[in-house]
Amino acid sequence: MGFSTILSICSNLNHSVLRIVLVNFFQQVQKLKLERTWLSWSDLDIIAELPNLEVLKLIDGACHNNEWHPNVRGFTRLNVLLIENNDLKYWKATDDNFPVLECLVLKKCRYVKEIPIEFADIHSLQLIELTGCLPELGDSAVRIQKEQQDLGNDPVDVRISDPYNLPAISSSFLLQLLPHTQPQ
């Protein structure tokens, strides 16, 4: 039975039972890929308690809703975080949430405009890779890079490819949408 199947079964349980199941049965998990599990972002607080988790991949609807506020001091060994093709729009996190993160990869995250600036305080952070994301997210990654430099740390390597631009709407198209009025 795969982890996603167990999560689906556990999704009907209350939070405390889910926490017991995950922490007790998955103590040794080092790599975890969640795909189309539709967990709430707050459920990741339970996953953050997995003591040996080093790689977390959240792909294609792994989480639903558009805000993530990690509220635990978790992910104590997480080195790699990949978020791909999710509806995340707003993310409030601190360096305490990801104390040893080395690599942050965001792919096709078309709604996120900012990586929390607190990521500049993660001394282990070596790479931020953005693919198919908004240009504002790239600007945010560059701010983190500059902030690390200003703090005297080795700056994070920022790689940006295939930026996602919202489709342009022509003014003539917009005029067609407006109600037609006769000049008086």
pLDDT digits (tens, 9 = 90+) for 100-127: 999 999 999 999 999 999 999 999 999 9
pLDDT higher at 177 or 45 = 45
31-35, 155-159, 179-183: least confident range: 179-183
Task: Tell the CATH topology of 3-165.
Answer: 3.80.10
Quickly list DSSP for 139-170: HHHHHHHHHHHHTTSPPPEEEEES---PPP--
Count the alpha carbons within 13 Å of 56 in the hemisphere toward its beta carbon.
24
Q: Count other C-beta atoms under 10 Å from residue 150's C-beta.
A: 10
Strand partners, 33: 57
Q: Are β-strands 103-107 and 80-84 bridged in parallel, bridged antiparallel, or unpaired? A: parallel
pTM strictly above 0.85 = no
